[in-house]
Chain A
Amino acid sequence: MKFKVSNGPFVKSSNSTSKMMTRLLIALIPIICLSILKNTIIVYFYTDATLLESLHPIFMIILSIITSYVSELLYFKFILKYKIADCIHELSKSFSIIPGVLLSLVLPVSTPLWVIVFGAFFANIFGKMIYGGFGQNIFNPALIGYLFISASYSSLIGSHLNLYELDTLAGATPLTNLASLNYVGSYDEIVSGYGSLLNFFVGSIPGSLGEVSKMLIIFAFVYLTITKTIKYLIPIFYVGTVFVITYVVSLFTDMGIWYPIFHILSGGLLFGAVFMATDPVTSPITKFGQIFHGICLGVLTVSLRFFTSYPEGVMTSILFMNMFVPLCDKIGLSVKNNLKKVWIYILVIVIFISMTSYFIINKISYKEENKIPVNILETKKEGDKTIYNVSSKGWGLIKATVTVENGEIISIDITDKSGETQWSELEKNDYANKAIEYQDNIDSLDAVSGSTFSSDGIKNIIKKILESELNNEK
């Protein structure tokens, strides 16, 4: 009797790759349903949008899925020259629709359909197939598509607000609003425009199709973690790092605990952390590598949010960190082989986080306080008059004695002008006295051409003195 020979073991777990991918899609279904409710059904019944306009989000999702499938089919057929039957078989192992679904969920609500078709095509072909197909890609395919769209059609992809929200909200998503406020503000300024943080949690704020309902994303995370489908450590440490850094920032700028929560609940952070950063193929395989990866993502996302004009940051940081997956695995492996090394990396992480927090706090507080580069060295009172000794930054350092009476500057004596190379131009114009004349509206006084730095130095003295006088009155 002859037997087949194969590799052991001969009992295997019932889990399989296709079951994992199916669970991922199951976790996305409630999110898709809610975004259809919010962006389609409500829009249809509460605005005068036509049926076609309100069905736009559904078309986005369906078209993106179809494009993904067809583009891989075409790749198998015409580039790899498979037979049709083989193509279908390969596609069943390639899970081609997942980039399409994810892409449609992170794009703004009013993206034109043809842009999505391009994006999904680009995602599957250039994000996945040219690397050798499923399991070989370096970057998250959906994010490659997103990058392609946001780089090529940024003026066309439209807003994150649907037609219903356009009437009720003043045009900005919470994060663009935050950026315009220079990242600090009161609860009223940052959150209240959109209701309360509960609205953020439930999902009645503007955003991309899949990103709005944090509640459903958290449910999906719990489901995927219990069924052991995703690498749960990455989202935990990713979101945790964002929380820690923004919490430190909120402590130093006297904002409440709502500020880090706002950061976590706004934008695509949770969606990206749960569905994009955990893509098994493009994330580290070792446990400590996953932790390190998650923390780096957090640091990067916060940095991008605070230091660039681009207020989102999640997708960019995930795409960026995709490149460092092998490095994270090396780190994870070295920790696995020698557990003591973990302290080195914990130190690195602590330095990362504290430096990022420091720079953010520095940036925010610098813009708040040191607007005028003038130092008041000495203040004297002589009857009604107040005499200031100040130094001001011109080309070098200008020193002056300023006399104020009844809240008005009556004279400026320049005591040290040695650092100024073009001072004669100012003297010709009698600039100091002009500045006293213009003191109520100093910004309207033009600088002397050829001596801008020194002119600004004088103007800043006037500004600073008036500001401090105002403070004294209070």
Chain B
Amino acid sequence: MIKEIKLDGKKDISIVNDLVDFSNVSKVFVPLINCNILCKCLTKKGRKVKIGSVIGIREDIDFPILSPVSGVVLDIKKYQYLNGDLVDCVVISNDKTEKILKKNEVKDICNYSKEEFIDLLKKCSISGMGGGDFPTYLKYEGNNSILIVNAVECEPYLTSDAMICKLKSKEILDGIDAILKINKMDKCLIAYKKNNNVVKNSFLEYIESYDNIILTPVDDFYPAGWERNIIKSVLGYSYSKYPSEIGIVVNNVSTIYSIYKALKYKKGISKRIVTISGDGFSKPVNVLVKIGTNMSSIIKKIGSYEGDNLRFIAGGPMMGTSLPKDELIVSKNLGAVTIINNDEYEEVNKCISCGKCIDKCPVNICPALILKNIDDVLELKKLHPEKCIGCGICSYVCPSKLALRDAVKIARKKVK
């Protein structure tokens, strides 16, 4: 049984507006981090880089970090990453020449072997753009039969995935087709929320010409976009740890587009769509920005903050992190910035043991008991806080407004 809550999507406010292009920035700050693991810097102050040059490397798996612009490295300095930490960033001035290293366009993007494909994904630094930042090539190493494209986007306010579907549906379908052929996979299911007509209509136009790509609606609930829930709702399967166990790859739709780009131009992604939305912002909109853009300059150009009790959140309001300032660096896995004006619910009461967090937890742990036993590491081990996916449902449903998600996070660190 899938545990769920209903959330008001509030997606209309940003999807109705057209995409605004802000990719022509003069400076970028590329964070040297992948999947929350710090990477080694491979460049120096003053060195010239081209678009697609390797500027950093994640040492355990040799996963590269690429430069999104061509120009000169100005500095290496700490800036605010989306998890709130200060992370080393390579500051590069943009000379706006936009030279692509190998600019020959590939005609037949299906003409790769599996080894070449995996190698290309690694070289082009393709990683999950839904938020995980997990290197994508690792997912394709085994033998898989089904590809699931995640276009569910179950958090409120977020529309960046819907926007890329709206604008690039043909390219995405081509990319899927190529992935299926290269990896000899049987079929692809595109999962989207059943009431999200933007995604549905944009694919309907072209989907008839692809036999083994199926549009699959899922119910409108949170967390419908969680890997496990998608597989459960579209296929009915469950698994113990990773979907690759049962031959399934789940990719975010933006990741699919970046794979398409890699196959077509043999280059990594240098831009992404970010949603700027929330009830504390005057003009909710989707923007196209370079990886490494400082959000504060963009936000200033678009609109203004509205309200007295503003929270600046990297990500969606459910799973995102509240940040003290709006100088946030865009990374590949930043899908949205939400500004919430929220003065309610500051009153925290004591836990009344109502059990709602336990009833609703999608991974079946007991946040209330974890909070109760937060100092007792032995007891915590029995409660398995490491299972937490950080969906935030426990804090959402708590009638006493306790910070249960954060308690579980702390417990998780203690158990490790």
Contacts and interface: CB of A to CB of B under 8 A. Distances in A.
Interface stretch (A170-178, A283-291, A343-351): A283-291
B358 interface: yes
Contacts of A211: none
Interface residues of A, number: 37
A336 B397 CA distance: 20
A370 interface: no
A134 B313 contact: no
A312 interface: no
A1 B349 CA distance: 31
B19 interface: no
A220 B291 CA distance: 57
Contact of B317 (A3, A10, A134, A290): A10
B384 interface: yes
A285 B296 contact: no
Contacts of A9: 317-319, 392, 395-396, 405
Nearest to B300: A1
A16 interface: yes
B305 A1 contact: yes
In the complex, which of the residues B354, B364, B383 has the most CB atoms of chain A within 10 Å of its own CB atom? B354
A340 interface: no
A285 B368 CA distance: 8
Contact of A8 (B296, B313, B352): B313
A281 B313 CA distance: 34
A286 B395 contact: no
B36 to A, nearest CB: 17
A286 B352 contact: no
Contacts of A11: 7-8, 156, 317-318, 340, 342, 396
A287 B359 CA distance: 8
Interface string B122-165: 00000000000000000000000000000000001000000000
Contacts of B313: 8, 10
Interface in B309-351: 309-313, 317-326, 338, 340, 342, 344-345, 347, 349-351
Contacts, number: 140
Interface in A1-55: 1-13, 15-17, 19-20
A185 interface: no
A135 interface: yes
B350 A136 contact: yes
A136 B364 CA distance: 25
Contacts of B5: 13
Contacts of A20: 352, 354, 399
A329 interface: yes
Contacts of B406: 7-8
Contacts of B400: 16-17, 135
Interface residues of B, number: 55
Contacts of B356: 15, 228
Contacts of A134: 349-350, 352
Contacts of B324: 2-3, 5
Interface string B5-25: 101100000000000000000
B355 interface: yes
In the complex, which of the residues B358, B384, B399 has the most CB atoms of chain A within 10 Å of its own CB atom? B399
B351 A135 contact: yes
Contacts of A15: 356, 397, 399
A287 B358 contact: yes
A188 B405 CA distance: 59
Nearest to B406: A7
A444 to B, nearest CB: 63
B366 interface: yes
A392 B242 CA distance: 77
A8 B317 contact: yes
Contacts of A290: 355
Contacts of A283: 353
Given A1-B296, A6-B311, A7-B406, A12 B396 contact: yes
B322 A333 contact: no
A324 to B, nearest CB: 14
Nearest to A230: B354
Interface of B: 5, 7-8, 156, 296, 305, 309-313, 317-326, 338, 340, 342, 344-345, 347, 349-356, 358-359, 364, 366, 368-369, 382-384, 392, 395-401, 403, 405-406
7 contacts: A11-B342, A12-B398, A16-B349, A287-B359, A333-B369, A336-B364, A337-B382
Given A1-B305, A286-B366, 17 more contacts: A3-B311, A3-B312, A3-B324, A4-B309, A4-B322, A5-B324, A7-B322, A7-B403, A8-B317, A9-B319, A13-B398, A133-B350, A285-B354, A285-B358, A285-B369, A287-B359, A336-B364
